[in-house]
């Protein structure tokens, strides 16, 4: 019985290479402990806030009879991901010393992205309902 290399082995090997590369880049930084603390904080925020919030939204939706599948679930995942990415500039404390560091209106852009996601989700749901309705009549 020979050892076969499958997709999981290749993906795992590539993942290990990425971890090694990231570790090397981390150790080349002047203060690698600061990045490690930031990454640790990201894990704490995810496990202590984001994951319980997602679980609570799912439980609440199930309790009121909503089925979050397909487009609504995707919209929530995208909204959560965009929010996680946008949080640092959204929570920045007022003006910065260098105006070119964060030059955009991040709150407005985040709100526009959330509105676009909601609009596309509603349009998708309406289109699916319309095609189901017309499919039943035929």
Q: What pLDDT, on the 0 to 100 scale, is given for residue 1?
A: 56
- CA–CA distance, 47 with 69 (Å, rounded to integer): 23
- pTM flag (> 0.85): no
- CA–CA distance, 76 with 99 (Å, rounded to integer): 32
Give the 3-state secondary structure of residue 85: helix
Contact 92, 134 (CB under 8 A): no
Tens digits of pLDDT across the chain (138 residues): 567 788 999 999 999 999 999 989 988 988 888 888 888 888 898 889 878 887 888 888 889 988 777 888 888 888 888 888 888 788 876 777 777 777 788 889 999 999 999 999 999 989 988 988 887 665
Q: What pLDDT, on the 0 to 100 scale, is given for residue 59?
A: 87
How many Cβ atoms are within 10 Å of 69's Cβ, its own excluded?
Answer: 8
Q: What pLDDT, on the 0 to 100 scale, is given for residue 98?
A: 76
């Amino acid at each position: 019985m020979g050892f076969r290399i499958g997709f999981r082995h290749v993906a795992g090997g590539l993942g290990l290479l990425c971890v090694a590369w990231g570790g090397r880049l981390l150790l080349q930084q002047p203060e690698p402990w600061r990045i490690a603390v930031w990454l640790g904080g990201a894990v704490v925020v995810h496990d202590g806030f984001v994951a319980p919030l997602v679980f609570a939204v799912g439980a609440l939706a199930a309790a009121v009879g909503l089925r979050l599948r397909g487009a609504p679930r995707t919209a929530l995942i995208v909204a959560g991901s965009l929010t996680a990415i946008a949080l640092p500039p959204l929570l920045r404390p007022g003006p910065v010393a260098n105006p070119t560091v964060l030059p955009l209106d991040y709150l407005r852009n985040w709100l526009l992205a959330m509105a676009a996601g909601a609009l596309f989700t509603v349009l998708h749901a309406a289109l699916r309902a319309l095609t189901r309705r017309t499919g039943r009549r035929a």
